[in-house]
Structure 1
Amino acid sequence: MNRLRQVRFFVILVAALRFGAPIANATPPAATTAFDCVRWPEAEALFHRDPRWRGADGAASIDLGEGRVLWLFGDTFIAAADSPRRAGSTFLRNSVAIQTGYDPTTATFQPYFQTAEEAPRDFFSAAEGKWVWPGHGAMVDGRLLLFFMRAAPQEAWPKFVIEGWEARLVENPTAPPTAWRWRDLDLPPLASTGDVNLAASVLQDTHFVYAFGTNRSPKHSGIVLRWDREDVLEGDLTAPSFWNTTAHEWQSVPAPSDDGLTTLFTEAQEEYSVHYAARLKQFLQVQTLGFPLGKIAVRTADALTSSWSAPRVVHTPVETHWAEGTFVYSAKAHPEQQTDGLAMTYCTNTKNDLQVFSNESYYYPRFLKLRLKSATTDRDAPETP
């Protein structure tokens, strides 16, 4: 995304966030836009350019500007330098990468992780015995805001429990990631509520930063909180606001409870994306629908505070027909990627540990392209939502 496109997109996004459509009725509007979603295997070469990086999940992206894209990954496999294969590799809870160039079919891909005693280690550290999974973030006045899920092990499936969320602010995001300087941000009591994950997607306008997430109780609801930009830059996230659908205004979050938080939509996954689609003049939410064999679904809304459409399945991944134990999850959009549509990814995994190591088809993110269809002929139109 060049500088002119970035400025134009930001102006449109500011208008949409601040002056969106009036509050709609509680019933979700009917989805009318026709989409076409296809595989984009050529773009998947991006994730195979470094021989030591042997796959990961999560796969959120942030446009850092000047042709650089930050990728945030969860569980990651890093192979030994002399043995570029997943078998025998080191398992990390997170890693990052810098993509240089906005076309993933030709861009470079440089992964980053920490090392200790010459062995790979998580890029983002956590308290002993626990870990963080990166969510999403945004560049805010030259600094990089990042949100994370805090996790800990447990005996029962899925072998982990989400304990809350946290945020960090990188002071020098133009430097190589291994030279980053970051600080932990002050958080509200809500951050320690295990039912709330606030790491899915981040947007901003000239006054506020908006973070989307999930409230697991009672309906696995999609939620959004916001902060003044000045508070974010000062490292203070202790006083977020939420949209009260009854009073039709932003109000302080009741601490420390998650009771009363606005439900934007139900059936929200832990990982999803939200961005403003300028051609649609709507916000677009992307996620998998269902688990373990998720299908790729989208929702739309005229404004963050208006009703969201019901989820609409736009793609059924071929992996949903793979061997028993396979699961498909973590679908997201990547609007900074250059293509004749909207780039999206999803992730795959399996309960079969032997398959994870022997079948490297698992665990590499898969690329898709979402395109608008012609309103008159139902043919694919090379238009980006």
Structure 2
Amino acid sequence: MRWLLAAWAVVALLTVAAGAGPRARVAEPAGMSARELTAMFQRYGDTSGDWLGADRTASVPLPDGRRLWLFSDTFLGRPGPGGDRPRSASLIHNSAIVQDGDQLRTVTGGSPARPASLLSTGDNGEFHWIGDASVLGDQVQVLTNRIRRTGPGPLDHTLAATELATLTLPTMAAGRLRPLPLGDKVSWGSEVMTDGGHTYVYGSEAAGTMKFAHVARVRGADLGQPWEFWTGQAWSPRVDESARLLSGVGTSYGVRKVGDRYVLVTHENNLMFSADFVAYTATTPAGPFEGPHYLFRAPETDAGHIVYDADLHLEPARPGTLLVSYNVNDLDEAVAYADASIYRPRFFEVQWPLRQARRLPAAPAGVNATPDGSGTARVSWDVDGDLSYRVYRRDVTAGQTHFVRLPGDAPGRFEFLTNGHRYEFGVTAVDKRGEGAMSPVAAMTATVPPPPPPSTVRAEPDSAGKVTLHWAEVPFVQLFKIYYRDLTAGQRGRTGAGAYPGQSATVGPLRHGHQYEFTVVAVGGGGDSVHSQGVRATVVVATPPAPGTPSAQPRPDGTVQLSWPPVAPGLAYKVYQRDATAGAADWGTPGITRTTQFRSRPLEHGREYEFVVAAVNDGGEGERSPVVRVRAQLAPPGAAPTRLRAEPRGTAVELTWRSGATWHWIFRRDLTAGEREFTREEVGAQGHEATLRNLVEGHEYEMTVAAFNPGGTGPQSGPVRVKVGSALPTGLAVTATGPGTARLTWRETRTELLYRIELRDATTGEPWRADPYPVDGNTYEAVLLTAGHRYEFRVRVNDLTTPPVAVVAR
């Protein structure tokens, strides 16, 4: 029920405010009526397919003539066939719509397949609600309230900070968020208004059951510059000296200069669940403000809905009118989901300035207010039968600055008082000409006992793990606290499930199959009641339906990216796969994800695989989606190896290189032999080094390396050249050593070789003959030579032969 947070902000336990309106001065055609704007957003919510509804509704005119609409909690998707909001609809905490003429475009964060809040905290326990904004150069500066969750209930959250965000024009790309040194007492950004040489920023402070307006300013138009705060008498740089302007503002309100006066428009928040919107006026941006002037009564409350927030939009308004937006919701979750049109902006317009008749009824006399024992005030006055009357009340103890109009038009009892608070009551008379001045006030101090606990509490579990509680109305009580304990788990103490207005609340999701006991506490002006009698319910979580057919996209790394439509928020999903090429029947062990996307492990290139998806909740695994089939594809490596090095090692060559791949082909060509084309080695090399053998000794080679995988061969590295060493000795020499003997010597290029010695008697023309015994080392002794004959010698290694040397025997 997170999406009801903004609606329930009117309960006054909410501790944040957000704001209205643009302040970039651009020429923009005026004249959109309230009816046209309301219809525009209803139509867009029904047909866009992405934006389903939202609240807040600040607007900013852009320099290029477009208009930016800013929203807080936003539902995404499209309505169901009956106009309902699907339970699977995604909720994000802020978004925007860009209006270009009659064309609208939704702006969010994340990706089209997985949209997210436009401004994200990166923390599931915190989120941003949008404040007002203004244009500065090529950026939109947006004030946001960072909200921190404090518990499981819909009202369990608090203001953490006010931050300044930027959206880049014209794309609306979100920039960095900058924390502002403003503390957590006032949620700034209810309104941003440029006036003269300053930009004024209005905020809202929650204090008990009241909300108070504050104002600050910066010099010029940059909201990132130092702020000054109105103290009630002067401007101060200290945020802790900010003073209250007036009470009864909503979570957002609008302030603009209209003519020679400043007009503040707000939902009437001095009274819980009011249907009224009011205006206050002042001669300076900091007040003092006079009013209230009642502008409009929202018709949606007649259907049991609630209304809240007010944003003032001057630029698109028709001449001579105030154009105001407000938000609508319902405290009953089932009602709000049954009709997607509820949670969308509404607009109204009123003529301004208001006209007032010259002659009005006189103020009533004899006004008297007395407390009674039931926690109400009994108010009476002298009645004239030709007139009707309106009763106003001010809570002096709570610091209420202005009177609020109460329901009812005759002497009687007026309820919803707080114990020990001092109240003032006034009465006005109304005839066909209008409303007259207020009577002298009558004061009293309320005596309010604690309320009785709610009776006839009943619990209705649904099939989604939630339990809806209903209880009878408790007089003079509008807020209730819910508690539960898990009987199946043996829980003894109670767990708070939050505070709720109205006569119903939905708690959960809870554990499937567990029995819980629920109690309800009434919160009244005299304190909390005792706990109601406990009511029990066993939680049921039906397994979720099957997801729609997944989409499957093969990726270059051999994986498959799957995505599918969400079934409902908060579910996990199991993803099964099998090898269709191999004809596998077993789906194997599934992968698990908490999103609607999944990437498989690397698969075998060229083979077909089948995938199915099943949603999982506390009740178990649901039915599987239709099967999707896809062929795995592995792209060849895209990068060539680098830093290829070649080192001769005798008649072999050692290659090393750098690469992110595992397997590589080696290519070579023999430059000495005149080869022009590279030849690939028959066996691939694993790793990043290899030794090439079977090379021709003494030949120069050029070599390259390329990575490969089942998808193909990547680009080749730059070539390197290397000359293969020779095993032939050098420095061959022969010397006659005695009668019939000679010594042959040489320098070895490699050790541990065996040499064949070939010789011939050149004097007789003898052909070359080989000594039958191989020789190691670097010397050879020849014997039985014929004196005076010339002998030639040479050495053979690995089919290579040295040039001959000669000697004449003694």
TM-score band by shorter chain is 0.7 to 0.9
State the 1:298 CA deviation: 1.0
Of all paired residues, the percent bearing the same amino acid is 22
After superposition, the C-alpha distances for 1:325-351 in whole angstroms (9 at most, x for unaligned) are x32101111111142422211101112
- State whether structure 2 residue 58 is matched by structure 1 residue 60: yes
Q: 1:168 aligns with which of 150, 155, 165?
A: 165
- State whether structure 2 residue 72 is matched by structure 1 residue 74: yes
1:383 matched residue in structure 2:
none
1:94 matched residue in structure 2:
94
Distance 2:221 2:299 in 1: 45
Distance 1:55 1:167 in 2: 25
Q: What are the residue-to-residue correspondences of 1:154-303 with 2, within 5 Å?
A: 154-170=151-167, 172-173=168-169, 175-177=170-172, 180-188=173-181, 190-191=182-183, 193=184, 195-205=185-195, 207-217=197-207, 220-229=211-220, 232=223, 235-236=224-225, 239-246=226-233, 249-254=234-239, 258=240, 260-278=241-259, 281-290=260-269, 291-303=272-284
User: What is the DSSP-based 3-state SS (H/G/I as helix, E as strand, rest coil) of the residue aligned with 2:40?
Assistant: helix
Assess, with a 3 A threshold, how the Cα gap between structure 1 residues 81 and 319 changes in structure 2: closer, same or farther: closer
Q: What are the residue-to-residue correspondences of 1:12-91 with 2, within 5 Å?
A: 40-47=34-41, 48-49=43-44, 50-79=48-77, 86-87=85-86, 88-91=88-91
Q: What are the residue-to-residue correspondences of 1:124-143 with 2, within 5 Å?
A: 124-129=119-124, 130-143=126-139
**In 2, are the aligned partners of 1:212 and 1:223 still within 8 Å (CA)?**
yes
Distance 1:159 1:302 in 2: 38
Range that drifts further, 83-92 or 146-155: 83-92
Which AA in structure 1 matches 2:36?
E
More helix by share: 1
Q: 1:347 aligns with which of 313, 327, 351?
A: 327
**In 2, are the aligned partners of 1:57 and 1:73 still within 8 Å (CA)?**
yes
After superposition, the C-alpha distances for 1:153-197 in whole angstroms (9 at most, x for unaligned) are 332342433323211233x32x222xx252323521x33x2x310
State the 1:215 CA deviation: 2.1
Q: 2:337 aligns with which of 340, 344, 357?
A: 357
**In 1, are the aligned partners of 2:256 and 2:264 still within 8 Å (CA)?**
yes
Distance 1:81 1:151 in 2: 29
Q: 1:113 aligns with which of 96, 108, 116?
A: 108
State the 1:301 CA deviation: 1.0
**In 2, are the aligned partners of 1:78 and 1:86 still within 8 Å (CA)?**
no
User: What is the DSSP-based 3-state SS (H/G/I as helix, E as strand, rest coil) of the residue aligned with 1:329?
Assistant: strand
**In 1, are the aligned partners of 2:84 and 2:338 still within 8 Å (CA)?**
no
State the 1:45 CA deviation: 2.1
After superposition, the C-alpha distances for 1:307-336 in whole angstroms (9 at most, x for unaligned) are 11122221110112223xx32101111111
Distance 2:317 2:112 in 1: 39
Between Structure 1 and Structure 2, whose CA radius of gyration is higher?
2
- State whether structure 2 residue 142 is matched by structure 1 residue 146: yes
User: What is the DSSP-based 3-state SS (H/G/I as helix, E as strand, rest coil) of the residue aligned with 1:357?
Assistant: helix
Assess, with a 3 A threshold, how the Cα gap between structure 1 residues 117 and 97 changes in structure 2: closer, same or farther: closer
- State whether structure 2 residue 321 is matched by structure 1 residue 336: no
TM-score by length of 2: 0.37
- Aligned pair count? 319
**In 2, are the aligned partners of 1:79 and 1:85 still within 8 Å (CA)?**
no
Which AA in structure 1 matches 2:281?
T
Which AA in structure 1 matches 2:152?
E
Assess, with a 3 A threshold, how the Cα gap between structure 1 residues 338 and 65 changes in structure 2: closer, same or farther: farther
**In 2, are the aligned partners of 1:199 and 1:213 still within 8 Å (CA)?**
yes
User: What is the DSSP-based 3-state SS (H/G/I as helix, E as strand, rest coil) of the residue aligned with 1:125?
Assistant: coil
Assess, with a 3 A threshold, how the Cα gap between structure 1 residues 300 and 339 changes in structure 2: closer, same or farther: same
**In 2, are the aligned partners of 1:197 and 1:270 still within 8 Å (CA)?**
no
2:290 matched residue in structure 1:
309
Structure 2 unmatched runs, 5+: 1-24, 359-431, 434-810
After superposition, the C-alpha distances for 1:50-94 in whole angstroms (9 at most, x for unaligned) are 243111101111111332111010111111699896313211111
Assess, with a 3 A threshold, how the Cα gap between structure 1 residues 140 and 116 changes in structure 2: closer, same or farther: closer
User: What is the DSSP-based 3-state SS (H/G/I as helix, E as strand, rest coil) of the residue aligned with 2:37?
Assistant: helix
Which AA in structure 1 matches 2:51?
W
Range that drifts further, 287-296 or 54-63: 287-296
**In 1, are the aligned partners of 2:27 and 2:65 still within 8 Å (CA)?**
no
TM-score by length of 1: 0.74
State the 1:228 CA deviation: 2.8
State the 1:376 CA deviation: 7.1
**In 2, are the aligned partners of 1:46 and 1:109 still within 8 Å (CA)?**
no
Assess, with a 3 A threshold, how the Cα gap between structure 1 residues 46 and 166 changes in structure 2: closer, same or farther: same
After superposition, the C-alpha distances for 1:267-305 in whole angstroms (9 at most, x for unaligned) are 222211111113xx2111111013333421111111113
State the 1:139 CA deviation: 1.2
Which AA in structure 2 matches 1:244?
T
User: What is the DSSP-based 3-state SS (H/G/I as helix, E as strand, rest coil) of the residue aligned with 1:220?
Assistant: strand
Assess, with a 3 A threshold, how the Cα gap between structure 1 residues 356 and 276 changes in structure 2: closer, same or farther: same
**In 2, are the aligned partners of 1:54 and 1:85 still within 8 Å (CA)?**
no
After superposition, the C-alpha distances for 1:24-66 in whole angstroms (9 at most, x for unaligned) are xxxxxxxxxxxxxxx9333212212324311110111111133
